Structure 1
Amino acid sequence: MSLLPLLLVVIYGLCLLFILCFSGGQWQLTRLALRAYAAPPLPRPPVPAAWPRVTVQLPLYNEQNVVERVIDAAAALDYPPELLHIQVLDDSTDATVALAAERVAYHIARGRRLSHVRRPSREGYKAGALRHGLAASDGEFIAIFDADFVPAPDFLRRTIPFFLQDENIGVVQTRWGHLNQAESLLTRLQAFGLDAHFLIEQVGRTFAGFFINFNGTGGVWRRRCIANAGGWHTDTLTEDLDLSYRAQLRGWRFVYRPEIVVPAELPAAMDALKSQQFRWTKGGAETARKHLGALWRSAQPLVVKLQGTFHLLNSSVYVVILLMALLSVPLVFVREHYPEYKLVFRLASVFLVGFAPLVYYYYTAWRLAWPTGKARFYPGFFLLFLSVSMGLALHNARAVALGWLGQRTPFVRTPKAGPGGRGPRRYRTGGVGPWEVLEGLLALYFGFGFGAGLYFGDAGLLPFHLLLTVGFAAICYYSGRHAR
């Protein structure tokens, strides 16, 4: 028995086992979310006799396409003006500065309390800006909105009362909506994936008492919670996930309210999507590296530790997917030329049922997002979503590897086009480079694996290779198209 084919089979089998465990976690969260939705709705907290002071922070960096919209939305919040302070945390180096200054002055003249905060440097990126603004604020509660978010006027009146019924609540997080979901296939695919996170994962984790995360925007912090957890750190690209785990490890409770929706703009171009994905996946790996040990040393129940581990390792699944994909092509030849492994491959096929919970997870999310059936669930659309997600495996696996290795990289903003998608896209995050070329070569590589399966009459890996070929080809195509 040759050692190399055996090694390929063993590593591939371990990857399948990881996917099975990951999918099992998603199945558990889906069941928990459905139980949460079936439970009697919690009563709305009473309107307080006296409202507390609130600071709204708007971190900005070169957001000329959306800066006026987010400042106007914050200024339109229905809250006692004498208790509301809006901080425009502006690290911009372009026309955003003048646009922000004009809108701040406009609302100040109409009785609103706003501050246009400019730092001497962009040190610490978003986390540094939030920390800098916090030192100059007096709010007992801190609401945060990224530049592309548009909170409704009643946002604070719907979220602040939750804090006032329990002093141990540190965060109230709300659900993201989508301003431009229908703009393109790319935005529809993103909305599909984000809905699963906000309608299943966050709901299921909250219902079971697992750790959840502040999503970086569209939520409110208790100031005392931020301070007690150590404040905003700048050593990861996901300062939100980092502070969330530090706070919950210190005993703070997080509340998630899916019925409160804050619409936001989805990245409409591949370079923008990739910059966002890089931050999320690399930051997730950095946070896992930072907190996994503390999580397992804590006094949390075992089930909380297990779910927290999969939560922190969410982004690392891309490394496993990429490794599986790369190994799958030589395995076509192993299956053909080493008949002694046929039983092993038959046993391994059992692990493919690990993908079934993912179908259940995403189908349930779609049903919750469209309860009236206004949008039909197309199996082809779901397969395309899986395919494009696989196509991002190289890009995201690289980000995860950099995160686990502790290599520092800058915080690259996600370009936003603004209302109607008509704003100038002058903020490039990168064009076609060697990694995009490699994605194209991988599309050919998996196409070769698909052809080899057809040639040998072996259908076992044909669906996998077809999804990979389409996914990597789509990522390569959009990268080139949007670089123009």
Structure 2
Amino acid sequence: PRDILNNVLHYFTDDKLGCIQVRWDHLNRDASLLTKSQAIFLDGHFVIEHTARNRSGRFMHFNGTAGVWRRSTIDDAGGWQHDTLTEDLDLSYRAQLKGWQFAYLPQFFAPAELPPEMIAFKQQAHRWTKGSMQTCIKLLPRIMRSKLPWRIKSEAFFHLTNTVVYPLMVLLTVMMYPAFIYADGPWKNWPFAKLLFSFSLFVLATCSAGTFFVFAQRELFGNKATWKSLVHMPMLMALGIGVCINNTKAVFEAIWSAISRKPTEFVRTQKYGVTGKDRNGFRADGVFTFKRLMVPILEIAFGVYMCCFMFISLYYSYARGSVPFLLIFAGGYLYVGVNSLYVLHRMNQEAQVELAAQTEAPEALSL
């Protein structure tokens, strides 16, 4: 909004305030199922996480856009540093370690574009995940050694280590076969075997996250949004599971970059805008490389793997309660993997056309 600075600058009369963050809004929220799911994800972050951290006096972070910094705060914290992919998160924690305060103003918002295609979404998720782990490795030891109150340290610990959930989700997927073998024991005929083995796992894995996102939508859009957002919960959770392999790769890349001390390339998220498209450097000879295809193929393989156990669960009565849980996993992996291959295929076709046009243009000029 054009009046955003007029609305927020007066908060800097507080000499201790170093940064103001406002809420993100989404220009293309309803463009597709993918953008709708992303919007709900981000709404949960801005409506609940940011609000809770800021109001309770814990560390929050600047999100890279939709905010205003005091210049002296940046200088005092050591300036922008390029050793992580999330330099905004890195600077935010360094500034707060220096004693600067942040303000989150959810009543003001700045509209932005969500990645409308799967490859762009995964690139963004990969960068955020890798950068968060890099920041964790860089700053968490310093935070834990500081004289900050334990409530701030504990929240910073869980915030900076939250990307570990992705390798754990992949491990959970891989361990599905041993879990079925273990469950096929003498206790499977117990009266509550179905509840203990499957339904309880499904409830614990979905209800907490579902409640989080539903309440965020209710806070933004009122009671009517509660029921509308419930419809999107299965897709939301499936998408979160589907990107686990992509984000697990990012976690291990961050760990390796910390060990090897090699610089990390910043891959900008493609922006499509109202007119035209930005392919961000995709070349005809580089779309279908093994590196690009490896993750989508693994995602599809994991989806098929989970489908197998879903059908096995239908056969064994003690495991039938786990079918919804397995369906979300299978659907998530297959949706993300197949969608990724489709987008890569289309990008390859478009890149070939562009390459052919670029080749023909000099020939036409020479004539």
TM-score (norm 2): 0.84
Tell me the distance in 2 between the aligned counterparts of 1:358 and 1:154: 35
* Cα deviation 1:156-178 (Å, max 9, x = unaligned): 111211111x1110000111110
Cα deviation for residue 354 of structure 1 reads: 5.8
Q: What is the deviation of 1:468?
A: 0.7
Structure 1 CA distance for aligned equivalents of residues 147 and 189 of structure 2: 45
> Aligned with 1:171: secondary structure?
strand
CA distance in 2, matches of 1:398, 1:341: 40
User: The residue matched to 1:215 in structure 2 has which SS?
Assistant: coil
Separation of aligned partners in 2, 1:271 and 1:354: 27
Displacement, 1:426?
Answer: 3.1
Q: 2:220 aligns with which of 352, 365, 369?
A: 369
Question: What's 2:255 paired with?
Answer: 404
Per-residue deviation, residues 404-453 of structure 1 (Å, max 9, x unmatched): 2326431101111111xx31343256555121111111110111111111
- What does the per-residue CA deviation read over 1:187-225, in whole Å, with 9 as the maximum and x for residues that have no partner? 101001000000000001111001000001111111111
Structure 2: distance between partners of 1:446 and 1:462: 10
Q: Which residue of 2 aligns with 1:455?
A: 315
Q: Assess, with a 3 A threshold, how the Cα gap between structure 1 residues 393 and 354 changes in structure 2: closer, same or farther.
A: closer
- Whichever residue aligns with residue 426 of structure 1, its letter is R
- Equivalents in 2 of 1:261, 1:389: separation in Å? 25
**Counterpart residue type for residue 209 of structure 1:** G
Aligned equivalents of 2:224, 2:111: Cα separation in 1: 21
Report the Cα distance in structure 2 between the residues aligned to 1:451 and 1:214, rounded to whole angstroms: 45
Q: 1:301 aligns with which of 149, 152, 155?
A: 149
Q: 2:178 aligns with which of 330, 348, 353?
A: 330
Report the counterpart of residue 54 of structure 1 in structure 2: none
Aligned position for 1:79: none
1:45-101 per-position Cα deviation (integer Å, ceiling 9, x unaligned) = xxxxxxxxxxxxxxxxxxxxxxxxxxxxxxxxxxxxxxxxxxxxxxxxxxxxxxxxx
Range moving further from structure 2, 465-474 or 338-347: 338-347
- The answer on 1:424 being equivalent to 2:285 is no
**Conserved 8 A contact 1:329-1:446:** no
Deviation at 1:384, TM superposition (A): 1.1
Q: CA deviation at 1:266?
A: 0.4
| 2:268 match: secondary structure | coil
Q: Which residue number in structure 2 is paired with residue 177 of structure 1?
A: 25
User: Aligned pair 1:443/2:303, yes or no?
Assistant: yes
Asked whether 1:246 is paired with 2:94, we answer yes
RMSD: 2.3
CA distance, structure 2, for counterparts of residue 452 and residue 411 of structure 1:
43
1:414 aligns with 2:269: yes
Asked if the contact 1:415–1:428 (Cα under 8 Å) also holds between the matched residues in 2, the reply is: no
Residues 1:433 and 2:293 are matched in the alignment: yes
Within 5 Å, which residues of 2 pair with 1:56-135? none
2:161 is aligned with 1:161 = no
Letter in 2 for 1:334: Y
Once the two structures are superposed, what CA deviation does each residue of 1:367-422 show, in whole Å capped at 9, x if it has no partner? 01212636842433111100111011111111012112326431101111111xx3
Residues 414 and 341 of structure 1: CA distance in aligned 2, closer, same or farther (over 3 Å): farther
Distance 1:286 1:265 in 2: 26
* 2:51 alignment counterpart: 203
C-alpha deviation, 1:460, in angstroms: 4.3
**Counterpart amino acid of 2:249?**
R
Q: Which stretches in structure 1 are left out of the alignment for 5+ residues?
A: 1-151
Q: Distance in 2 between matches of 1:417 and 1:357?
A: 34
Query: What percentage of residue pairs aligned between the two structures are identical?
Result: 35
Residue number in structure 1 paired with 2:211: 360
Q: Structure 1 counterpart of 2:296, which letter? A: E
Q: Which of these residues, 219, 225, 237, is aligned with residue 67 of structure 2? A: 219
Instruction: Give the Cα separation in 2 of the matches to 1:323 and 1:290.
Output: 25
- Provide the rounded CA distance (Å) in 2 between the counterparts of 1:456 and 1:372: 40
TM-score scaled by length of structure 1: 0.64
Change (3 A) 1:338 1:258: same
Q: 1:397 to 1:451 in 2, by over 3 A?
A: same
**Count of residues paired in the alignment:** 330
CA spacing shift, 1:196–1:378, aligned 2, 3 Å? closer
Residue 450 of structure 1 contacts residue 462 of structure 1 at CA under 8 Å; is this kept in 2?
A: yes
Matches of 2:224 and 2:42 in 1, distance apart?
18
Determine if contact 1:332/1:452 at 8 Å carries over to the other structure: no
Pair 1:217–1:451, CA change in 2 (3 A)? same
Aligned to 1:100: none
Q: Is contact 1:335-1:341 (8 Å) kept?
A: no
What one-letter code is carried by the residue in structure 1 that aligns with 2:208?
P
Secondary structure in structure 2 of the residue aligned to 1:368: helix
- CA deviations on 1:134-181 (whole Å, 9 max, x unpaired) are xxxxxxxxxxxxxxxxxx1111111211111x1110000111110111
Which residue of structure 2 aligns with residue 235 of structure 1?
Answer: 83
CA–CA distance in structure 2, aligned partners of residues 434 and 356 of structure 1 = 32
> Helix, strand or coil for the counterpart of 2:184?
helix
- SS of 1:461's equivalent? helix
Report SS of the residue matched to 2:196.
Answer: helix
Distance in 2, Cα, partners of 1:256 & 1:445:
43
Q: Determine if contact 1:271/1:428 at 8 Å carries over to the other structure.
A: no
1:337 Cα offset (Å)? 4.5
AA of the residue aligned to 1:381? H
Specify the SS of the correspondent of 1:261.
strand
Partner Cα distance (2:175, 2:97) in 1? 38
Alpha-carbon distance in 2 for matches of 1:349, 1:304: 35
Measure, in 2, the Cα distance between the counterparts of 1:297 and 1:375.
Answer: 42
From the superposition, tell whether residues 191 and 440 of structure 1 become closer, same or farther in structure 2 (CA, over 3 Å): same
Secondary structure at 2:233 match in 1: helix
Question: Residues 340 and 372 (structure 1 numbering): CA distance in 2 closer, same or farther, change over 3 Å?
Answer: closer
